[in-house]
A and B are shown apart, each in its own frame.
Chain A
Amino acid sequence: MDSNFNKKHLFALAIMAMVALAGCQPDPLPVDPIPQLKPRIVVSSQLVPGQTVAILLTKSFGALDANGDSDPVSLINKIAINDASVIIENSVGEYTLTFIGNGVYGGVSIPLVYDEVYTLNVESPTMGKVTASTYVKPPVQFATLGGKFEDTGFDSLAQVHFSFQDLAGKNYYLLNAQHVTAEEPPEPTEFLNPKLSIHLFEDDPAVDGQLVVDSIKVIFRRDSYPGDSLLVQLSNISQDYYKFLKLRKENRFNFSDFVGEPINYPTNVQGGLGWFTLHIPDVRVITIDP
């Protein structure tokens, strides 16, 4: 026996071995059938620059059908609803959206009147009908916007400073920033659960209607390339949508399904899931040089 390997070590190893060898991890148990999910229509929407309305219609799917690492193209193909009739109406008229592909329906030249209620009607022969209503909030725009790279020594951040004119009354704002690389298009995996920096805030009654000046910090990886940019958007959103996004943000990184609280996410889609919103973003691109 090695002279360095004395009785003390032997005793310790015996204890360790007894615990380690015999601490067999039992095989997990199979799960008895749990409630099956009936697919439902999911609505989400965006206003792209030029005030084109894009509605994405998909269907909900089972927990065993896909996850964040799945191929996004396959997933979209699987869940997109491509046979629906999509109409947006307001007090003035009805606007039928055109099917573009992969569950996306677009509408150009839909007049957006602030504080007017717009109702979405979706009818699919395979999935049924849903409706949702929202109103267009007056937009806000950046007065100033700029960014600066900041190396912390172990990681890097982009400091984004901005200002905008707060609107009168009670308002809720969404500011988000997304890193856009100049080197190559985003990896497909970035499409599902993309890494966004999302900031939600209510306006301060003490400075109602005044210029808001603030800054945020966004993770901006050390291995960024020259020409990398930040896509920054500022929107004035409804209170209900604000609450939905806040709930989503608070639980975005629940580290374990069986430790986190179960949540019934709110929806304004009657008969379905998701959210129909018509907030008008101010979209800017700022370059951050490392």
Chain B
Amino acid sequence: MKSVLIILLLVPFSLIAQTVAIRGVVREGKEELPMAHITVLPDSTTAVSDAKGRFALSLRPGLKQVVVSYTGFETTLYSFFLSRDTTLTFALRPRSDELNAIVVTANRAQTKLFESTRSGTNILSSEEINAIPVLGGEADLIKVLQLLPGTIRGVEGTSDIFVRGGAADQNLVLLDEATVYNTSHLFGFVSVFNPDIIKSVESINGSFPATVGGRLSSILHVNTHSEIATKTRVSGNIGLIASRLFIEQPIIKNKVSVWVAARRTYIDQVVKLVNQQLPYLFYDINAKLSVRPTDRDLLSFSMYSGDDLLDIFRDRNNDGIGSLTSFQSGNTSQTFQWTRQLSKKWYSTFTALRTAYQYDIQNAFRTNRLKTFSNITDVGAKVLFGTNEGVGKGSVKFGLDWTHHNVSPSVVSTTGLIAEFLAGGTAPGRAIHEMALFGQYERSFSDRWLLTAGLRTSFAFTGERNYVIPEPRFSARYEINPTQALKFSYSRMAQYLHRISNSAVTAPTDIWYPVTKDIQPQTAHQFSVAWQKTLPKTGVFISVESYYKPMNNLIGLEEGTNLFFNTDFEKRLVQGKGNAYGFEFLVKKELGNLTGWISYTLSWSNRQFDAVNQGVWFPSRYDRRHNGAIVTQYALHPRWAISAVWEFISGSKFTPVIGQYGVMAPSTTGLDLIPIYAPINSVKLADSHRLDLGVKFKSKPERKFKTEWFAGVYNVYNRANPVGITVQINEDGSMKYEQPGLFGLLPFISYGFKF
């Protein structure tokens, strides 16, 4: 144990009592540390600091040793002779070990969440993301989120998430405050987030603060590293699917630094070595320049660019004349952010951003060409003012968000003979301004009650019709005791941008479309109640939460609408209602050799559209009743760790073809067979469950060039996780239904390094 910096204040209090008081506060810098342990020897008396970091003890006078410990921080030992009431202030320093620092950050963040009025929120550390074996061994933020309560995945392997009964487009994904419209590479199997750049991930599924909005179901904040680097840092990873490299470099000591990260598949290059062709690749590039011109200011400029590229050339006759099909799908974003400490109490954040997503599909053969294109571009700004008050002391936040959305939803262009069969066309471009004004106040009104009340008023200006929607936000915390709390919340959410997609699966070629004079904003109310408990000594956090969420103006399509090459889809859009409710359970352990979590969600999600299913309510496609996961990592040794994930999820709903009928073809001969579908989403696919195992081996920590091997198996017992129901023809000509899966047992291995 080391002695660190201690600030000692001796205040003259009464000396007459046989016992005297030690009072104090435990801090890190200006921030109080709740749940710190204070032990006084030789009395063996222990206290735990409260939410404001304060503690108090009554002791007999004499020589004392005070031991102060807090997870992730260096333990402090202070010896003195206690003769009168004394007030002490302890300022702790974090431990220098990086791994524990990351866990500490998450643990502290979890503690802060527990102390706040917020529920329905998950925080992930980069260590957690990198420790979990996933498809192909590529660490993936979205795949980890899918293992947490309240978040349901779509088709196996894809990056869609469905939060508390919402649709995939009801989740606002922000990378350094810039919206990411397409979160996936490799047709959904890998997310766009390079794990090396992630500093923190916060997923808000309920109890929304007034500072966030724009989607009905969740806000996912992915924040990249923004601290000023003090030394050069290089890290990389070579895996089966992709490889990545991260370089961080100080430019001006303690003032300016930059980092760059890149990731690319290389399997296309590997197969070239054996004279094969794999005409697909994806890449990501992220970069950030951080500047701290003064102690009060931090500026950063970050950028992201990523693409999926596919080029297929087919020459059936080997005569050099063939067809070329190309597919490109990609996001770009740029964010400028300026955070300033205006005074001891007030701070401000200003953000300017630009983000764009587009896809482009082309097919060419001789003089024939088919091209389809879609694009959405946002420019925007955000301003936030707030106070740094401690929990319950009356903190304020207010500000303004503005975004201009410019959408070119679908352009189909055909030339040559194909134009005779498929006419080109352009769905009208749309542009809207989306704005929000918000204010929020948090204060404790007794020893036990903490309340947060806010209002976010959002606007959309389409040029033809304007929308104004007040979105009240309210959350409350009742402290049962220092380690248990009840939480209540209500949020109203509005959404002005919708993703139009096939109800069966979402795809990179889905269309983003704003509100119009006819297409109204989606809205939702959400009510939630939660019970939370922490066990500080073991770093365990327990949460049980229930929610109810009615939704209006949800987007759907008329029956039979085909989105492919369809520029006239707006007439086929319909709007309806939905509801979702359920229970979420989470036990999370972040300290010790064994870490991880157990999550379970019991949920229902339903929809109703007048134009669909004869107006009868039906289950949503991803109304998956039970959803659970056991995620564990065990540190066998400082250099060895094993991890396991077992996931269970009820089958999604499906609408199979259950029959056919024949009508005379509109010609003089022939019979057309027309399919008959079951009622919408009336059939449940088989339940999915899967076990993934991984083992990690690290080089000796004293080495400058550190390495790490991560190997494992996805879907150890090779079970099919169904994606739908198909009719298969047997060898004898008879037919049967079956449910195919996508992936079976898949091993993975990756090599990481850093120096």
Contacts and interface: CB of A to CB of B under 8 A. Distances in A.
Interface of A: 8-9, 12-13, 15-16, 18-19, 22-32, 34-37, 40, 42, 44-46, 48, 54, 56, 58-69, 72, 75-76, 79, 152-154, 157, 174, 176, 178, 186, 190-194, 196, 198, 216-217, 231, 233, 245, 247-248, 250-251, 254, 256-265, 273-275, 283
Given A15-B240, A28-B738, A273 B661 contact: yes
Given A31-B737, A34-B683, A63 B659 contact: yes
Instruction: From B417, B665, B749, name the one whose CB has the most chain A CB atoms within 10 angstroms.
Output: B665
Interface stretch (B390-398, B427-435, B468-476, B667-675): B667-675
B720 interface: yes
Instruction: From B420, B659, B678, name the one whose CB has the most chain A CB atoms within 10 angstroms.
Output: B659
Contacts of B289: none
Interface string B480-523: 00000000000000000000001111000000000000000000
Given A29-B722, A258-B654, A186 B659 contact: no
Given A27-B720, A29-B722, A18 B749 contact: yes
B503 A261 contact: yes
A251 to B, nearest CB: 6
A261 B562 contact: yes
B384 interface: no
Nearest to A254: B562
Contact of B670 (A154, A196, A264): A196
A193 B749 CA distance: 49
B478 interface: no
Contacts of A262: 503, 559, 655, 677-678, 680
A23 B746 contact: yes
B42 interface: no
Interface of B: 240, 267, 270-271, 273-274, 321, 365-366, 417, 420-421, 502-505, 557, 559-562, 613-614, 654-680, 682-684, 686, 713, 715, 718-720, 722-729, 734-741, 743-747, 749
A194 B662 CA distance: 12
A176 B672 CA distance: 14
Contacts of B678: 34-35, 262
Contacts of A27: 720
Contacts of A254: 562
Contacts of B502: 259-261
A105 to B, nearest CB: 12
Given A192-B673, A257-B675, A60 B661 contact: yes
B677 A263 contact: yes
A24 B667 contact: no
Contacts of B656: 34, 63, 257-258
Given A18-B749, A63-B657, A263-B560, A28 B729 contact: no
Contacts, number: 250
Contact of A194 (B366, B670, B734): B670
A48 B668 contact: yes
B657 A257 contact: yes
Nearest to A25: B744
Contacts of B557: 261
B417 A152 contact: yes
Given A23-B743, A28-B720, A44-B664, A62 B670 contact: no
Contact of A8 (B273, B719, B728): B273
A240 to B, nearest CB: 14
A43 to B, nearest CB: 8
A34 B670 contact: no
A257 B724 contact: yes
Given A9-B274, A34-B737, A153-B366, A24 B718 contact: yes
Contacts of A257: 656-657, 675, 724-727
6 contacts: A28-B741, A35-B683, A46-B668, A54-B664, A260-B562, A262-B503
B736 A64 contact: yes
Contact of B271 (A12, A72, A154, A174): A12
A93 B712 CA distance: 79
A194 B725 CA distance: 26
Nearest to A200: B666
A9 B273 CA distance: 6
B666 A258 contact: no
Contacts of A26: 715, 718-720, 741, 743-745
Given A62-B659, A174-B666, A233-B667, A247 B560 contact: yes
Nearest to B725: A31
A275 B271 CA distance: 54
Contact of A42 (B503, B614, B661, B669): B661
B420 to A, nearest CB: 4
B361 to A, nearest CB: 15
Contacts of B747: 18-19, 22
Contacts of A154: 321, 365-366
B240 A248 contact: no
Contacts of B613: 264
Given A60-B661, A216-B420, A261-B502, A68 B673 contact: yes
Contacts of A75: 662, 671
Given A16-B274, A29-B739, A37-B676, 10 more contacts: A15-B240, A16-B271, A32-B686, A67-B673, A178-B667, A192-B662, A194-B665, A257-B725, A261-B562, A273-B676
Given A263-B559, A283-B668, A248 B674 contact: yes
Contact of B270 (A12, A35, A259): A12
Contacts of A30: 737-739
Nearest to A177: B667
A68 B727 CA distance: 12
A46 B676 contact: no
Nearest to A191: B670
10 tightest CB-CB pairs across the interface, nearest first?
A258-B724, A194-B670, A37-B659, A44-B663, A262-B677, A31-B737, A26-B720, A28-B738, A262-B655, A60-B661
Nearest to A273: B661
Nearest to B558: A261
A264 B561 CA distance: 12
B746 A194 contact: no
Instruction: From A23, A36, A275, A283, name the one whose CB has the most chain B CB atoms within 10 angstroms.
Output: A23
A242 to B, nearest CB: 11
B567 to A, nearest CB: 13
Contacts of B559: 261-264
A191 B725 contact: no
A258 B726 contact: yes
A19 B713 CA distance: 11
Given A26-B744, A42-B661, A58-B661, A64 B737 contact: yes
Nearest to B417: A152
Contacts of B240: 15, 18-19
A41 to B, nearest CB: 9
Contact of B663 (A18, A191, A275): A275
Contacts of B677: 262-264
B662 A79 contact: yes
Contacts of A28: 720, 722, 728, 738-741
Nearest to B421: A217
A265 B675 CA distance: 9
Contacts of B420: 157, 216-217
A116 B613 CA distance: 33
A35 B655 CA distance: 10
B557 to A, nearest CB: 7
Nearest to A217: B420
A176 B741 contact: no
B673 A193 contact: yes
A112 B729 CA distance: 45
B746 A22 contact: yes
Contacts of A250: 560-562
A23 B745 contact: yes
A72 B557 CA distance: 35
Contact of B746 (A19, A64, A186): A19
A23 B670 CA distance: 44
A217 B673 contact: no
A181 B6 CA distance: 98
